């Protein structure tokens, strides 16, 4: 009976999350269509349904609040803003549409709550500042044998090694061995390898539209920087974009693909082809960070929250979280200890570092705790590493400096890349 109940609960969780998110996206598309046809009332109603169907998605709440305020539906707008405050999302209080609510007493209370919920919460400090402002860091790993940090570059298509004084040298040269944008990286100390997720992106140097969909997993020698392995992905009509990975102690690599949503396994023993763990599951829509958890894989899906994947069967379930929290928009994900995960939640504004507490049996998230909101320095954090009782993370990757075609936006500012150290004890 216990097993049957567990299976039934898992199946229900899978269906509920997938169905709710799909319904919300459907309502959102209806709202866009209604606006295009000039039917504002129908658009507001559809956005309200989207926000209700998927309440943890702040983007729907924000859109609903703005459109409802513009349409004179103040109560509905205030309700959506209240939900944003609860989730920890901010909004632009100088927006003319939002300012239309300024005379409403309830709005003043909500604005104060929003400012408190999104204010700097600085518990970390700057560990290292890198000199190359055009680096565009994304992935980070610790090479314990050599006592150095490894950092990947999207723009420059390379991996640098950074000593504890902050001096950087190229470990893998720009574009070496066909390396495209260098995203997540992970160290296999036993085999003296650094694995990198490589994907052709508009933000990289030398990109052309013909490069779209090209992606691979590459392993380079930690001493020489020479290529040791190249792993290809199964064919997919839309191509691939491997963005994250994790390396196990036994040398196995797991990776996530956001372009053709799937999860892959690369055995330690060799071979040039990745094996599918999950592909085509409706829950796996935008997989990011991964944590190996015994017989399962925990995955941060940008759209659906934290997923648990059974490695034997490939079945996927969503881990429920408390109603007044959100686990959406998590990019980097690592394990702190048996019952806690650390997530880089850059899919909300402002970005923050959160601790996710797992239930004793690991079937749910019982608490989402904000640990760090190091503003303005950590405006665009990406990934991090747990080391010596602290979480060290990349704070300011310049993704927002580019448009979708990789062109530099007017007024873009380039800051020195920062590594922040957040104590966890």
Judge whether 314 and 354 are in contact, CB under 8 Å.
no
Please check the confidence at residue 18 and state whether its pLDDT lies above 80. Answer: no
Which is more confident, 8 or 271? 271
Residues 70 and 185 reside in one and the same domain: no
Q: Is 259 buried (19+), middle (13-18) or exposed (0-12) by CB count in 10 A?
A: middle
Residue 11 has what pLDDT?
A: 39
Express as a percent the part of the chain with pLDDT over 90: 89
Judge whether 274 and 265 are in contact, CB under 8 Å.
yes
Please check the confidence at residue 415 and state whether its pLDDT lies above 70. Answer: yes
Strand spans (E) along 283-358: 287-293, 296-301, 305-310, 316-318, 330-337, 340-345, 352-358
What are the pLDDT digits (tens) for 309-350? 999 999 999 999 999 999 999 999 999 999 999 999 999 999
Strand partners of residue 419:
128, 394
Express as a percent the part of the chain with pLDDT over 70: 96
What are the pLDDT digits (tens) for 279-313? 999 999 999 999 998 899 999 999 999 999 999 99
Residue 15 has what pLDDT?
A: 54
| CATH number reported for the structural domain that contains residue 81 in this entry | 1.25.40
Residues 66 and 167 reside in one and the same domain: no
Residue 351 belongs to domain spanning? 125-423
What are the pLDDT digits (tens) for 112-125? 999 999 999 999 99
Residues 35 and 155 reside in one and the same domain: no
What are the pLDDT digits (tens) for 212-247? 999 999 999 999 999 999 999 998 999 999 999 999
Residues 136 and 157 reside in one and the same domain: yes
Residue 46 has what pLDDT?
A: 96
Residues 143 and 276 reside in one and the same domain: yes
pLDDT band at 103, cuts 50/70/90?
A: confident
Judge whether 58 and 324 are in contact, CB under 8 Å.
no
Residue 4 has what pLDDT?
A: 33
Residues 282 and 338 reside in one and the same domain: yes
Please check the confidence at residue 28 and state whether its pLDDT lies above 60. Answer: yes
Is the entire prediction scored with pTM above 0.85? yes
Tokens coding 99: 């300012």
Long-range contacts of 409-415 (CB under 8 A, 24+ apart): 414/133, 414/134, 415/133
**Domain count along the chain:** 2
Residues 223 and 370 reside in one and the same domain: yes
What are the pLDDT digits (tens) for 54-69? 999 999 999 999 999 9
Residue 13 has what pLDDT?
A: 46
Average pLDDT, the chain: 93
Residue 16 has what pLDDT?
A: 65
pLDDT band at 5, cuts 50/70/90?
A: very low
Residue 10 has what pLDDT?
A: 38
Strand partners of residue 330:
345
- Among the candidates 52, 85, 117, a domain finishes at 117
Residue 3 has what pLDDT?
A: 28
- Among the candidates 117, 149, 178, a domain finishes at 117
Residue 411 has what pLDDT?
A: 92
pLDDT band at 400, cuts 50/70/90?
A: very high
């Amino acid at each position: 009976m216990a097993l049957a109940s567990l299976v039934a609960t898992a199946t229900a969780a899978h269906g509920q999350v997938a169905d709710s998110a799909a319904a919300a996206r459907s309502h959102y598309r209806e709202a866009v269509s209604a606006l295009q046809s000039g039917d504002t009332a129908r658009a507001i109603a559809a956005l309200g349904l989207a926000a209700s169907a998927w309440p943890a998605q702040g983007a729907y709440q924000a859109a609903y609040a703005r459109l409802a305020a513009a349409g004179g539906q103040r109560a509905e707008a205030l309700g959506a803003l209240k939900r944003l405050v609860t989730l920890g999302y901010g909004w632009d209080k100088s927006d003319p549409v939002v300012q239309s609510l300024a005379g409403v007493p309830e709005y003043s209370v909500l604005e104060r709550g929003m400012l408190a919920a999104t204010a700097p919460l600085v518990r970390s400090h700057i560990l290292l500042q890198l000199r190359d402002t055009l680096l565009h860091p994304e992935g980070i790993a610790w090479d314990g044998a050599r006592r150095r940090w490894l950092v990947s570059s999207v723009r420059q298509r390379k991996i640098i090694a950074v000593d504890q004084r902050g001096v950087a040298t190229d470990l893998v040269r720009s574009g070496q061995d066909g390396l495209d944008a260098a995203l997540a990286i992970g160290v296999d100390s036993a085999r003296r390898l650094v694995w990198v997720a490589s994907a052709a992106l508009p933000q990289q140097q030398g990109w052309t539209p013909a490069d779209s969909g090209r992606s691979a997993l590459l392993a380079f020698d930690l001493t020489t920087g020479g290529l040791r392995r190249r792993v290809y992905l199964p064919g997919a009509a839309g191509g691939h974009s491997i963005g994250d990975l994790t390396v196990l102690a036994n040398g196995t690599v797991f990776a996530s693909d956001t372009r053709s949503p799937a999860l892959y396994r690369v055995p330690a023993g060799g071979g040039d082809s990745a094996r599918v763990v999950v592909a085509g599951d409706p829950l796996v829509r935008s997989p990011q960070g991964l944590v190996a958890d015994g017989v399962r894989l925990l995955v941060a899906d940008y759209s659906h929250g934290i997923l648990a994947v059974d490695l034997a069967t490939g079945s996927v379930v969503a881990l429920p979280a408390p109603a007044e929290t959100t686990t959406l928009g998590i990019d980097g994900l690592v394990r702190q200890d048996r019952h806690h995960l650390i997530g880089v939640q850059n899919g909300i504004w402002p970005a923050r570092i959160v601790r996710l507490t797992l239930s004793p049996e690991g079937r749910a998230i019982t608490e989402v705790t904000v640990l760090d909101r190091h503003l303005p320095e950590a405006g665009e954090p990406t990934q991090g590493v747990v080391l010596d009782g602290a979480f060290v993370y990349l704070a300011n990757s310049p993704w927002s400096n580019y448009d979708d075609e990789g062109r530099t936006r007017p007024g873009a500012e380039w800051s020195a890349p920062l590594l922040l150290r957040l104590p966890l004890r």
